[in-house]
Structure 1
Amino acid sequence: MRKRLTPYLLLVPQIILTLLFFIGLCTGIIQSLGVIPAFDLTEPTLQYYKEVLTRPDMLTSVFFSLYIAFTSALLATVAGVFLCMLLVMSDKAKGLMMRIVQLPITVPHVVVALFVINILSQNGFLARCAYALGMIRDQKDFPVFIYDTHGMGIILAYLWKEIPFIVYFTIALMANINNNLGEAAVNLGAGRWTAFRKVTLPLCRNTILSGFLIIFVFALGAYELPLLLGATSPKALPILAYIQYIHPDLRHRPYAMALNGIIIMISLLCAVAYFILMKKNIKGLSDKK
């Protein structure tokens, strides 16, 4: 009897956390529609979403977050696939090299932000080196990489962790395909690079796109790096949502939930795309069998 109950008992913490998550999600969606009885807001409305998508300050934050997320995800995917290709082609997809590649994944984003500040700020390590070498007259002449309106510091910090993630996410499949179908193409007369480009890479496409979606959604909803490395304006969506949430006027809370609702909707679209890609991957593996 105890053995039969054990699996269900082990699921209890997961069920509780799932329920709390869905309760919070539903509460946030309801509040984003302007329904907060404690604040005398009882009529559902899409006015808050409309204002978020029309007010210049909030719309700028939406575009800024999309820009940061898309740019960092795209650059990380391209660089990660290129690095993955080098590792696979040099037969270093396992062992010490992979341990080194995976190391940045374990570093928290707050620590990465401190690294970026100490290295890339105008009084950081690189600025001091450039000044000592006579490349710049003053440390203020060093290019602005952090706290800038283009979010360069945020993007660079994301790349620190996202490039190794793409490598870790795709290298097992890429190495397996290259060692089987890729070698078969080489035996039939194709060059190694041609076989990789026309055989291995297309077969890894869905997995690569899945990795892109994961890091895109993460960067879109992340709070730490935009807070620590971002400019005063524009603000990323999660930061603006938090500011609206703690606003002294509690009637601003639906704005915060509407901003979060936009993140949720984009994340759901990415989740659907991810599900479709994974379904194609599973179908492709079953067809091979």
Structure 2
Amino acid sequence: MKKKLTPYLLLLPQILLTVLFLTGLITGITQSLGVVPAFGLTEPTLAYYKEIVSRPDMVSSILYSLRISLFSAVLATVGGTFLCGLCVMEKKTRGGVMRIVQLPVIVPHVVVALFVINILSQNGILARIAYLFGLISDQQEFPLLIYDGNGVGVILAYVWKELPFIVFFTAALMANVSGSLGEAAINLGAGRWTAFFRVTLPLCRNTICSGFLIIFVFALGAYEMPFLLGATVPKALPILAYQEYTHPDLQHRPYAMALNGVIILISLACAAVYFILMEKNIKQVRKSEEV
């Protein structure tokens, strides 16, 4: 009897976490539809969703968050892919090089934000170096890279943090493909870069796209970087949702949940694409095993 209960006891922590997650998700979705009995709101409505897509400040926040997420994910994915390709072609997927690449992965996002402030702000290291060499006559002439409306500082911070993630996410598969089919292409006369672009990269495409989706969704819903490095106006979507949630007027709570609902909908769409890509990867592995 004890042996039969053991698997269920081992699963109990996961079950509890799943129940808590689903409870919070269902509560958030319910409140985003305007159903908050404690505040006297009992009728479901889509009015809050309609209002957030019609209010200029909320629309600008949504576009701002999407822009930051898209650019940071694209730059991190492209940079990480080619850095991983260089490591694979030089056969340096282990050892000192990969340990150096690993450093940004273990650094918390808040610490990365502080690094960016100390390096890229108008009182930071780069501004002081530019002033020292006479490139600018005053440190305030240094380009505004953080706290700007374009989110340049936030994007650079995400690229710094997530580029190594792409390297580790794709290194194992890329090394395996390059060491087998890539080497075969080189033995047949193809150059190393030709083998990389024509053989290795296409076979790793689904995994790379999966890494892109993970970074995109994370950057869309993250709070720390936009809060520490972002502009006052427009605000990133998670910051605006938090402000609506902590608004003194509790009638604003559904607005916060509706903003979170937008993040959830985009995340679900990315999760569906991720699932499709993983299914394709599994089918490719099965076909290669059959061959």
Relative to the length of structure 1, the TM-score reads: 0.98
The equivalent of 1:281 in structure 2 is 281
What residue ranges of structure 2 are gaps of 5+ in the alignment?
none
Deviations 1:28-59 (A, max 9, x none): 00000000111111111111001111110000
For residues 189 and 3 of structure 1, the distance between their equivalents in structure 2, rounded to whole angstroms, comes to 59
The answer to whether structure 1 residue 189 and structure 2 residue 189 are counterparts is yes
Matches within 5 A, 1:167-246: 167-246=167-246
Deviations 1:139-161 (A, max 9, x none): 10111110000001100110111
The equivalent of 1:141 in structure 2 is 141
For residues 162 and 205 of structure 1, the distance between their equivalents in structure 2, rounded to whole angstroms, comes to 18
For residues 185 and 119 of structure 1, the distance between their equivalents in structure 2, rounded to whole angstroms, comes to 44
For residues 190 and 100 of structure 2, the distance between their equivalents in structure 1, rounded to whole angstroms, comes to 32
The equivalent of 1:104 in structure 2 is 104
- Once the two structures are aligned, what percentage of the paired residues are identical? 72
For residues 105 and 183 of structure 1, the distance between their equivalents in structure 2, rounded to whole angstroms, comes to 30
Deviation of the 1:6 alpha carbon: 2.7
Q: Secondary structure at the match of 2:94?
A: coil
Deviation of the 1:4 alpha carbon: 3.7
For residues 13 and 231 of structure 1, the distance between their equivalents in structure 2, rounded to whole angstroms, comes to 40
The answer to whether structure 1 residue 12 and structure 2 residue 15 are counterparts is no
The answer to whether structure 1 residue 81 and structure 2 residue 88 are counterparts is no
Deviation of the 1:134 alpha carbon: 1.2
For residues 4 and 177 of structure 1, the distance between their equivalents in structure 2, rounded to whole angstroms, comes to 43
AA aligned opposite 2:141: D
Deviation of the 1:194 alpha carbon: 1.0
The equivalent of 2:151 in structure 1 is 151
For residues 173 and 288 of structure 1, the distance between their equivalents in structure 2, rounded to whole angstroms, comes to 13
For residues 166 and 180 of structure 1, the distance between their equivalents in structure 2, rounded to whole angstroms, comes to 21
Query: What is the number of residues matched between the two proteins?
Result: 289
Q: Secondary structure at the match of 1:202?
A: helix
Deviation of the 1:131 alpha carbon: 1.1
Deviation of the 1:132 alpha carbon: 1.3
Deviation of the 1:3 alpha carbon: 3.9
For residues 150 and 262 of structure 1, the distance between their equivalents in structure 2, rounded to whole angstroms, comes to 21
Matches within 5 A, 1:102-141: 102-141=102-141
For residues 190 and 126 of structure 2, the distance between their equivalents in structure 1, rounded to whole angstroms, comes to 45
For residues 133 and 153 of structure 1, the distance between their equivalents in structure 2, rounded to whole angstroms, comes to 23
For residues 261 and 15 of structure 1, the distance between their equivalents in structure 2, rounded to whole angstroms, comes to 24
AA aligned opposite 2:157: A
The farther-off stretch of 156-165 and 187-196 is: 187-196
Deviation of the 1:256 alpha carbon: 0.2
For residues 3 and 178 of structure 2, the distance between their equivalents in structure 1, rounded to whole angstroms, comes to 44
The farther-off stretch of 213-222 and 188-197 is: 188-197
Q: Secondary structure at the match of 2:127?
A: helix
For residues 142 and 4 of structure 1, the distance between their equivalents in structure 2, rounded to whole angstroms, comes to 67
The equivalent of 2:44 in structure 1 is 44
| Runs of 4 or more consecutive aligned structure 1 residues displaced over 4 Å after TM superposition | none
Deviation of the 1:7 alpha carbon: 2.6
The farther-off stretch of 83-92 and 267-276 is: 83-92
For residues 33 and 261 of structure 2, the distance between their equivalents in structure 1, rounded to whole angstroms, comes to 10
Deviation of the 1:87 alpha carbon: 0.6
For residues 122 and 108 of structure 2, the distance between their equivalents in structure 1, rounded to whole angstroms, comes to 23
The equivalent of 1:92 in structure 2 is 92
For residues 82 and 193 of structure 1, the distance between their equivalents in structure 2, rounded to whole angstroms, comes to 11
For residues 283 and 147 of structure 2, the distance between their equivalents in structure 1, rounded to whole angstroms, comes to 46
Matches within 5 A, 1:48-87: 48-87=48-87
AA aligned opposite 1:64: Y
Deviation of the 1:2 alpha carbon: 3.6
Deviations 1:108-160 (A, max 9, x none): 00000100011111111111111111111111011111000000110011011
For residues 110 and 189 of structure 2, the distance between their equivalents in structure 1, rounded to whole angstroms, comes to 50
